[in-house]
Amino acid sequence: MGLTIRPQLPTEVSLMASRLYRTTRALYLQVMQILAQLGVAGLGSPTLVALIGLYVAGLILLDGRQTQTRVTRFLPARCHDALNRLLRVMPLATRPLMALLVQWVKRQKSRGYLCLDSVIVEKAYAHRLLWAGWTYSLAQKRSIYGLHIVVWLWCSLDGRYRIPIAFRLWRPKASCPRCDYQTKVQLAARMLRAIISARVAFQYIVFDTGYTAGWFTKMIHNLGSTWVGTLQPRTNVVWHGRKQSVAEFAAGRRLKWRKHLGLRASAWRVYAPGYGMIRLVVTRNSHGNYEYLASNDLAGDLETLVRRKRGRWSIETIFRDSKQFAGLNACQSWVPQAMVRHVALVLLTFTLLQLMRVDPQESVGSVKERWQLAVLRNHELAPQPLKACPLALRSTA
């Protein structure tokens, strides 16, 4: 869906496809055709482009441990050393690769919004990997050692596409000169300026507490964009001349039950010393947990801001799907350049899984499973279902 597949393929791709098993050849050819439509051929030599397609096809075909050795075992078009060179020494720049996804987003007629967040790829034993560091994982409730990846995601308002358009690997202070160190918010700000310079159309930007910094939200406002974020409970606000924390402010307010949202919520226009005038929405769910939403859209209604904040969950699902279906955790190299390229190819694979749908409602996991079943079946028809099987279960019998 979304792309027109053309039959013309370069000679290098045809030669590499001829070395594949007959059952996996169709997958590789479709990957190469979609990559050609995205413009990957302009990134370098035909050999480089063909190896990118081989790597992406391996990430789609295999369920886990998508290392170079295992990819070439299932797709023996080239040896594993060729994929190692792809990640380590071949002239492959990741920013032009992500720029191709930006251009694809600009060609879409559907409206969208931007999500910002970071993900931790655990590398418990990769102490030779300079860009890894210790951090606390909210998901695992413990400190883990791994890589931090800051990602900007473009999501269509209809929920059909989730396209990563920019990413950076965060480097701990110990792995870079002090003058070159940047926080995750600073990395996000640089990427946002590039996204706006590329004229990517979006309605608003949504992020979580970790990126709701005063200087960052003011920068977004000065760029003419709308943002929605979450405030820390200790953030100060001024209401009727009294300065107090937002948690203290919310405790003294009566929240109205919103049946269509499934929670209690109320909204005010308040002044926050670090942010200026903001639209503050305080919500409390059925468990009694408070959340303090803020936005520079002073005229925005309560329901709109709550639903925009809920749209941030799209970036959490891309992290989950990239780990489960695209091999985000698979790279075992301790060379930082190889890790950066692997992340870029994983995000490219996640995009391709969406473009390979046969139905707009099909999930990326279903696309991956469909191609895996196509390889296993080898174009053979499934046996007839058992007559004793109930009708509701015959499709899976």
| Interval 274-289 mean pLDDT | 91
Tokens, residue 31: 């990957």
Q: What was the pLDDT predicted at 65?
A: 83
- pTM, rounded to two decimals: 0.88
- pLDDT of 137 above 90: no
For the chain, first and last CA: distance in Å? Answer: 29
Number of neighbouring beta carbons within 10 Å of residue 380:
7
Q: What was the pLDDT predicted at 121?
A: 85
- pLDDT of 39 above 60: yes
Look at 135 and 291; give whichever has higher pLDDT.
291
Q: What is the largest CA-CA distance in the chain?
A: 77
Nearest to 115 by CA among 240, 44, 205, 228: 205
The answer to whether the beta carbons of residues 164 and 200 sit under 8 Å apart is no
pLDDT category, 173, cuts 50, 70, 90? Answer: confident
Phi-psi region of 291 (alpha: psi -120 to 50; beta: other; left: phi over 0): beta
| Interval 327-340 mean pLDDT | 85
Which of 16-25, 134-143, 211-220, 321-330 comes out lowest in average pLDDT?
Answer: 134-143
pLDDT category, 4, cuts 50, 70, 90? Answer: very low
| Interval 300-321 mean pLDDT | 86
Nearest to 278 by CA among 237, 248, 317: 237
Q: What was the pLDDT predicted at 115?
A: 94
> Using CA atoms, how far apart are residues 339 and 118, in angstroms rounded to an integer?
16
- Hey, which residues does 230 pair with through a beta bridge? 293
pLDDT digits (tens, 9 = 90+) for 352-369: 999 999 888 888 889 999
> Using CA atoms, how far apart are residues 283 and 363, in angstroms rounded to an integer?
31
- pLDDT of 185 above 90: yes
pLDDT category, 1, cuts 50, 70, 90? Answer: very low
Q: What was the pLDDT predicted at 9?
A: 62
Rounded to 5 degrees, what are φ and ψ at 142? Answer: -160, 165
Q: What was the pLDDT predicted at 382?
A: 66
pLDDT digits (tens, 9 = 90+) for 54-99: 999 999 999 888 888 898 899 898 888 989 899 988 888 899 999 9
- pLDDT of 331 above 90: no
- How much of the chain, in percent, has pLDDT values that exceed 70? 94
Average model confidence (pLDDT) across the chain: 87
Which of 140-149, 283-292, 334-343, 387-396 comes out lowest in average pLDDT?
Answer: 387-396
